[in-house]
Amino acid sequence: MEFFVDTADINEIRELNELGVVDGVTTNPSLILKSGRAILDVTKEICDLIDGPVSAEVVATQADAMIAEGRKLAQVASNIAVKLPLTWDGLKACKTLTHEGKMVNVTLCFSANQALLAAKAGATFISPFVGRLDDINLDGMDLIADIRTIYDNYTFGTKILSASMRSVNHIFESALIGADVMTAPPDVIKKLTRHPLTDKGLDQFMADWKKTGQEIL
């Protein structure tokens, strides 16, 4: 499973990238707001840092304007994935932009039928929002499993990008189901390292090492 980071914070992306765990980045208007940066500037900086796909989202709602914004965003760098909402106009824009050879990430997906349409419109990525379904007492992970089954039934090439990952279990379950990609905030990715037995074991090793009186360097 590829790991994307869901942030527009360049310092957080740089820190995770040094560990080699960043296969791509996803942003959205809310994350651009949080960064306090101009969208084209921060997107360019991220693209210079990361080789993989960097999603940048349009804010128009009519297909023609979405296409124009998508083309402008795609000019920032060759690794831009234009992010489009899963609306009728968004799918029209998806069809046009993918025909032009641009990567497209169709976002705000909350049903398997929406994901089926996005695949038929040629989307590079489909982003089902797991956490937001959990928020309203539905099972977001069921949606990932349903889309996996449908895409495999027909060998659609659209990659399933599990989004709105709020916990390490969301990442674990996405990997078990076979999502192609997941995108999570940096703090959730960092939590993947944690295990109490690792901490306990390390404490014991350090205590015993001290008793040896030795040094390695």
Backbone angles phi, psi at 208, to 5 degrees: -70, -40
Using DSSP's 3-state secondary structure scheme, residue 36 falls into: coil
Structure tokens at 47: 């693209």
Q: Per rule CB under 6 A, is residue 28 in the interface with ligand G3P? A: yes
Bridge-based pairing of strands 54-57 and 80-85 is parallel
Least Cβ distance, residue 86 to ligand G3P (angstroms): 12
Q: Binding to ligand G3P by residue 164, rule CB under 6 A?
A: yes
One-letter amino acid at 197 equals L
159 is catalytic: no
Is the CB of 96 or the CB of 162 nearer to ligand G3P? 162
- Find, among 66, 21, 26, 31, the residue nearest to 47 by Cα: 26
The residue within the footprint of ligand G3P, chosen from 14, 92, 95, 132 (CB under 6 A), is: 132
**Which residues are CB-contacts of 104 (< 8 A; sequence separation ≥ 6)?**
70, 81, 82, 83, 84, 94, 97, 98, 122, 123, 124, 125
State which of residues 110, 125, 129, 156 lies at the interface with ligand G3P (CB under 6 A). Answer: 129
Please say which residue, 34 or 200, places its beta carbon nearer to ligand G3P: 34
* Residue 209 beta carbon to ligand G3P: minimum distance, rounded to whole angstroms: 41
Residue 186 binding ligand G3P, by CB under 6 A: no
Query: Nearer Cβ to ligand G3P, position 72 or 132?
Result: 132
Kindly list the residues in this chain that would bind ligand G3P in the complex (CB under 6 A).
6, 26, 28, 129, 131-132, 163-164, 166, 183
